[in-house]
Amino acid sequence: MSSRSLRRHVTSALMTGLVAALSFTAVLALLLILGHLIAKGASSLDWNFFTNSPVPAGQTGGGVANAIVGTGIIVGLAALIGLPIGIGTGLYLAEYGSGRLGWTVRFVADVLNGTPSIVVGIFAWRWLVKPMGHFSAAAGSVALAVLMIPMIARTTEEMVRLVPHSLREAALALGYPRWRTSLRVVARTALAGIVTGCLVGVARIAGETAPLLFTALGNLNFDTSISEPMQTLSLQIFTYATGPFEEWHRLAWAAALVLMGLVLILGVAARWAIRQRHDTP
Amino acid sequence: MTTLPLDPRGPPGAVAPPTPTPTPTPEPGWRTLRGVNVGDRVYRGVLTALALALPLLLLTLLAELVVSAWPALKQFGFSFLWTSVWNPVAEVYGAAPMIFGTLASSLLALLLAVPLALGVAIFLTEFAPKWLRQPVAFVVELLAAIPSVVYGLWGIFVLIPFLRSYVVPPLRAVFGWTPFLSGVFYGNSLLAGAVILAIMIVPYIAAVSREVLLAVPPSQREAALGMGATRWEAVWTAVVPYGRAGLIGSVILGLGRALGETMAVTMVIGNRHDIGLSVLQPAYTMAAALANEFTEATTDLYRSALFEVGLILFVITVVVNALARLLIWQVARGTAVGSRAL
């Protein structure tokens, strides 16, 4: 082997090693973050943590029951608003989206997808909180739905487009009207993919904080009224992490672990849903 | 997908779809074939109405931002962009430090994230053994699933102490003479913000670059290898140049993410209205200013100035994202690459 050839092969091997090392670094970052979450958060997870609301600053104890329930309500309501519009838009894009309106909607969805969530937050404040005169969980849900719709729309479109033409043609040839073909055959076939997209979308908004700062605001008490300010896990982590008390920091780690667990469960469920599709012929 | 290869009317002699009761008159059957089915119309109408929600939403968003920012726009004009006084008491506002901080932290983050993310993408598409690809891709994408506020928490209690003990001292020892590392390091700083941002945008850049590299035809690799290139040379001289536009697009997409990122940055960047060269000093970003000051804004002009900051941030991210998508579409045409979260 000539020295030039040797050099080229050594370079190749070195660069292979380098990109492998870079990948390892990225994996390591995730493991470190998850590791710290568990190391610093797991010891605080007990019955009181899940069943109590926060106690006044300076006292020990207290939990995040209000934040867990609040996250559920706000995210649930956001999904209720966002999923139908998102899925409908996605179906429109896949079925009728080749014209100018389709192009516009697709472009707008991508623009909104890249919009910083904090901008959506101040928009929701101006649009909902200011006219209503007070902060509310409902405004937070709408802000989250705004973030969710473009995401769901694009994944739904992509999943529906994966359905083979032949299925659609078969249904049409059997005399099915287009709307039934679309819903009963095409959307039904893409269902696993659509569900995955929805779960991923919900997982992403469940961790959002910025749009809730000026809408749901946060609330130290247990409150289930959607017209009042409400606490979520993400808001609670922000308050506790930036606060001055050791006790708060401990609770912040525990709350972060719970939030991360929630997001991961949704993410794994999404993977599982898509796998169902691949396994069935 | 709207134009079916099958003309719904069918050729004149086409077989009519089986109807439950054979009708003697051809009229009704012909009408259903011509697509005047009421269900179809309703379906299309409902979907169109839902799809119109997005453009309306964008228009409303833009209108609300512009209307709210108008008093500040009128009062300060373009000087808002390059003056750096931010004084709510005297009602004088200039956003230069935030604009600087936003750009500086995002660009610094790109500097760290791009080699890492491209390394991951190249490893996963070209070098990794088959069994390793899916798990590593999944783990890297999980980084995108971690909520911003959790990154912030980790940044405050893990990353900043780590930077203080293990990164800043050696950096200072070597580059301490440059203006970029001057001043006392308290922890909350441009550097901390940039490192957190870098970790957060790696999964986005990596995922999109990976799809771009996967879209490069295998013949590119085969041709290079066939001419005697080593595996790395094939990647570097054939595959990467072919996907260059898409790769640049993925990087710009990451930039768009970094510019608008709020919580994690707010928690570690120090939030000081200041323009400085040193990465060890606190800085501010537009998103962080909104998060911190919006609920405290007591006067109309203060709030209006913050809305103008939001408007600037929005316009910048729209331009950056549009550019990114145009570039990515050149390679992976028409797909929703990059619009997925996990």
Cα–Cα dist B31/B38, whole Å = 11
Q: What is the pLDDT of residues A62-105, one digit of tens each?
A: 888 999 999 999 999 999 999 999 999 999 999 998 889 999 99
Residues B35 and B108 in one domain: no
> How many Cβ atoms are within 10 Å of A39's Cβ, its own excluded?
12
**Range of the structural domain that residue B43 is part of:** 27-76
pLDDT at B11: 46
Q: Which one, of B152, B26, B271, B286, lies nearest residue A116 by Cα? A: B286
Write down the pLDDT at residue B28.
Answer: 53
* CB spacing of A178 vs B124 below 8 angstroms: no
pLDDT for residue B27? 53
Looking at the 3D structure of chain B, how many domains does it have? 2
B177: pLDDT confidence band, cut at 50, 70 and 90? confident
CB contact under 8 A, A126 and B318: no
Q: Does B21 fall in a domain? A: no
CA dist., res. B275 & res. B194, Å (int): 15
Tokens 């510019």 correspond to B259
Q: Is any Cβ of chain A less than 8 angstroms from the Cβ of B148?
A: yes
**Would the CB atoms of B123 and A20 count as touching at under 8 Å?**
yes
- In this model, does residue B325 exceed pLDDT 90? no
- What confidence tens digit (pLDDT) does each residue in B253-270 have? 999 999 999 999 999 999
Residues of chain B with pLDDT > 70: what percent? 86
- Nearest Cα of chain B lies from the Cα of A93 at a distance, in angstroms, of 8
Which residue in the set B64, B307, B320 is minimally distant from A127, CB to CB? B64
Q: Which pLDDT score is estimated for B332?
A: 62
Residue A195 has pLDDT above 90, yes or no: yes
| Cα B9 to Cα A173, B1, B6, B30, B230, distances in angstroms | 11, 17, 8, 8, 57
% of chain B with per-residue pLDDT over 90:
64
Average pLDDT over residues A31-58: 89
Residues of B in contact with A149 (CB under 8 A): 53-54, 57
The verdict on B213 and B319 lying in the same domain is: yes
**More reliable by pLDDT, A223 or B300:** B300
Residues B179 and B270 in one domain: yes
Average pLDDT over residues A176-196: 91
Say if residue B68 is in the same domain as residue B88: no
Looking at the structure, tell me whether residues B94 and B227 fall in a common domain. Answer: yes
Question: Are the beta carbons of B39 and A180 separated by less than 8 Å?
Answer: yes
- Statement to judge: residues B239 and B212 lie in one domain: yes
Terminal-residue alpha carbon distance, chain B: 26
A-chain CB neighbours of B308 within 8 Å are: none
Encode A223-236: b = buried (16+ Cβ within 10 Å), e = exposed. Answer: beebebbbbbbbbb
**Is B308 domain-assigned?**
yes
pLDDT in tens, B56-92: 999 999 999 999 999 999 999 889 999 989 998 898 9
Residue B102 lies in a domain: yes
Dist. CA A138–CA A103, nearest whole Å: 31
ipTM for this prediction: 0.93
Find the range with the poorest average confidence among A271-275, B242-246, B251-255, B294-298: A271-275
pLDDT of residue A48: 87
Both B87 and B186 in one domain: the answer is yes
| H/E segment holding residue A248 | helix A246-279
The candidate with the shortest Cα–Cα distance to B117, out of B304, B291, B268, B254, is: B254
Helix, strand, or coil (residue A177)? coil
**Nearest alpha carbon to residue A198 among A70, A119, A90, A112:** A90
Residues in A closer than 8 angstroms to B253, CB to CB, are: 114
Pairing of strands B92-93, B86-87: antiparallel
Residue B246 lies in a domain: yes
Neighbours of B288 (CB within 10 A): 27
My answer on whether B32 and B169 are in the same domain is no
Question: So what's the pLDDT on residue A171?
Answer: 92
Selected residue of B57, B123, B153, B195 to mutate for chain A interface (largest A Cβ count, 10 A): B153
Residues of chain B with Cβ-Cβ distance to A36 below 8 Å are: 154, 157-158
Mean pLDDT across B312-332: 86
Q: Give percent above pLDDT 90 in chain A.
A: 69
Residues in chain A within 8 Å Cβ distance of B260: 114-119
Average pLDDT, rounded, for chain A: 91
pTM of the complete model: 0.89
The alpha carbons of chain A give a radius of gyration, in whole angstroms, of 24
Assess if residue B213 is contained within a domain.
Answer: yes
- CB spacing of B150 vs A237 below 8 angstroms: yes
Confidence tier at B7 by pLDDT (50, 70, 90): very low
B77: left (phi over 0), alpha (psi -120 to 50) or beta: left
> Does B70 lie in the same domain as B88?
no
Q: What is the pLDDT of residues A101-119, one digit of tens each?
A: 999 999 899 889 989 999 9
My answer on whether B86 and B128 are in the same domain is yes
Interface test with A, best of B141, B263, B266 (most A CBs within 10 A): B263
